[in-house]
């Protein structure tokens, strides 16, 4: 049995479905672009944007969106966990081809963590919003 209240469980499930489909539709759009179908690609991207909008509403309803300082702290903690624990564990448990994809993800997460830390530093040293170049 889940430890989450039913409403939270349903919002999480709904978010995962919407976010996954948004990413899939962006991948479909990229393929359509490569296949010389820019209008189809544009339609896929609009569908993905609509899915993203619903996913954001679900995150907000679930109480997962906070103020800047907490959002940055949560993002850094989650990205660090994925980079240092979650994905390395997965790499050890899969075939070489899948491990290569996951290792590329780990490398990307390292960059994401660095960018998030820079954002946090910029936010902590600013009186309000960060500078446009951050």
pLDDT in tens, 29-88: 999 999 999 999 999 999 999 999 999 999 999 999 999 999 999 999 999 999 999 999
At residue 2, does pLDDT exceed 90?
Answer: no
At residue 1, does pLDDT exceed 70?
Answer: no
Model pTM?
Answer: 0.84
Tens-place pLDDT, residues 71-82: 999 999 999 999
- C-alpha distances in angstroms, 86 versus 37, 77, 82, 83, 102? 37, 12, 5, 7, 10
Length of the chain in residues, anyone? 134
């Amino acid at each position: 049995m889940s430890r989450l209240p039913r409403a939270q469980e349903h919002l999480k499930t709904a978010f995962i479905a919407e976010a996954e489909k948004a990413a899939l539709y962006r991948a479909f759009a990229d393929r359509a672009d490569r296949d010389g179908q820019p209008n189809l690609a544009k339609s896929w991207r609009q569908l993905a944007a609509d899915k993203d909008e619903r996913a954001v509403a679900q995150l907000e309803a679930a109480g997962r969106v906070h103020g800047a300082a907490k959002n940055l702290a949560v993002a850094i903690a989650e990205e660090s966990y994925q980079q240092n624990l979650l994905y390395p564990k997965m790499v050890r448990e899969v075939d070489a081809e899948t491990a290569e994809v996951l290792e590329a993800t780990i490398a990307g997460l390292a960059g994401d963590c660095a960018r998030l830390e820079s954002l946090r530093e910029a936010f902590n040293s600013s009186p309000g919003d960060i500078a446009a170049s951050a």
